[in-house]
Homo-oligomer: A and B are copies of this chain.
Amino acid sequence: MKIKNNFKKWSIIFLTLLSVFSMEAQENTSKKPLLIEEQGSFAVGGTIITNPGTFNPLKPTPEGQTFRGDHAYVFYQIPAKAKKLPLVMWHGIGQFSKTWETTPDGREGYQNIFLRRNFPVYILDQPRRGNAGRSTVSSTIEPVPDEQQWFNVFRVGVWPKYFDNVQFARDSATLNQYFRSMTPNIGTIDINVTTNAASALFEKIGPAILVTHSHSGGMGWITAVKNQNVKAIVSYEPGSGFIFPAGEVPQPIASSAGALEASSVPMEDFMKLTKIPIIIYYGDNIPEKPSDNSGADGWRARLQMARLWRDAVNKHGGDVTVVHLPEAGMKGNTHFPFSDLNNIEVADLMSKWLKDKKLDQ
């Protein structure tokens, strides 16, 4: 094994030199190959239904059979020279792992961007979504036309008009990929089921950084309460599920999308959120005053609630930052900043924060 080890050492030295040289020579054009030490997939968490009776292999009926469901499905890649803390990326409402992959206009998404920055990347489909479709509850799924509504809610524009400054390619092929990046719930979203599966993932892989989007924002706070392997959270446009200590829950915030309510958790649970660094980003084209465009107006309420939540966590000793991207000089971002046209700059902001918090060792 001596020869093998020596060889390995030399390979690593050379590949390091190679990648340094490559960065210089190619001026970071993102064109160099990804060097993946390991990649694969697995199911994690979930439950088992055991049907009473006896299974007869010669005349099978559901009697005496089992059904596993409500797990999450995870695809992971570990790059060479990997950083210590992996990124776990969790999609939002109506979405699946695609959120972090190729952008609708065909550029690299967060999966590749952060592999290139040497983070192990775990991408999950939450229970009852995408590749984690085996659900323990029954459901009926109807093809209800809804794309124009998502165009508005995701703040690409007000259909059929794009926002003037929007960081979104305006060709029809892009829109086609964008809308086909949705997939239905197979059974209701059960917050306990989804956060149990996410927590099981952190149990399996150990300390890691959780990256959430939209609906997984609120589920992310709960996952961090459930599992102390969540060492930090980067949350893009958390949509609901802000949790406060009993007695400190703010009034619901009205918007034309409906009232946004927060909920309460025991102080002991809340305090766990003060132990880890958390950053929250919101994009552009969020109205400053109440608007009758409910698609956009909901985000005004959510941004406002996120700031109240930041203040509550920080008052108890936490480390929450809320960045409204236009205030940081980044204009035109939609509900999906990580796949917008300027997603490299959006990723740079995140990288800087990870570095500041020493999460990129």
Seen from chain A, the residues whose Cβ lies within 8 Å of a Cβ on chain B are 3-4, 7, 11, 14, 18, 21-22, 25-26, 33-37, 39-43, 46, 49-51, 55, 57-58, 60, 62, 64-69, 71, 73, 75, 80, 96-98, 101-102, 106, 108-109, 112, 125, 129-149, 152, 158-159, 176-177, 179-184, 186-187, 292-295
Contact yes or no, B144 A141, CB < 8 A: no
Interface-central residue, A69, A106, A292, by most chain B CB under 10 Å: A69
Interface-central residue, A3, A125, A137, A186, by most chain B CB under 10 Å: A186
Contact yes or no, A62 B146, CB < 8 A: yes
Contact yes or no, B148 A64, CB < 8 A: yes
Q: How many protomers of this protein does the assembly include?
A: 2
Contact yes or no, B180 A65, CB < 8 A: no
Given A67-B146, A68-B147, A295-B57, do A182 and B101 touch, yes or no (CB 8 Å)?
Answer: no
Contact yes or no, A37 B33, CB < 8 A: yes
Contact yes or no, A141 B138, CB < 8 A: yes
Give chain B residues whose Cβ lies under 8 Å from the Cβ of A141: 135, 138-141, 186-187
Give chain B residues whose Cβ lies under 8 Å from the Cβ of A40: 101-102, 106, 108-109, 112
Contact yes or no, B7 A21, CB < 8 A: yes
CA distance A159 to B65 in the complex (A): 10
Give chain B residues whose Cβ lies under 8 Å from the Cβ of A69: 143, 180
Cross-chain contact of A25 among B3, B49, B130, B294 (Cβ < 8 A): B3
CA distance A145 to B37 in the complex (A): 38
CA distance A147 to B64 in the complex (A): 10
Interface-central residue, A106, A125, A149, by most chain B CB under 10 Å: A149
Residue on B nearest A147 in the bound complex, by CB: B66
CA distance A101 to B75 in the complex (A): 9
Given A68-B176, A75-B101, A184-B186, do A7 and B33 touch, yes or no (CB 8 Å)?
Answer: no
Given known contacts A67-B143, A73-B180, A131-B183, what 11 new A-B pairs fall within 8 Å (CB)? A4-B25, A33-B36, A42-B177, A43-B180, A51-B145, A55-B159, A60-B149, A96-B131, A136-B143, A139-B141, A140-B141
CA distance A75 to B179 in the complex (A): 17
CA distance A4 to B21 in the complex (A): 10
**Distance in Å: Cβ of A18 to nearest Cβ of chain B:** 7
Give chain B residues whose Cβ lies under 8 Å from the Cβ of A135: 141, 143, 184
Given A41-B101, A139-B140, do A62 and B184 touch, yes or no (CB 8 Å)?
Answer: no
CA distance A50 to B159 in the complex (A): 15
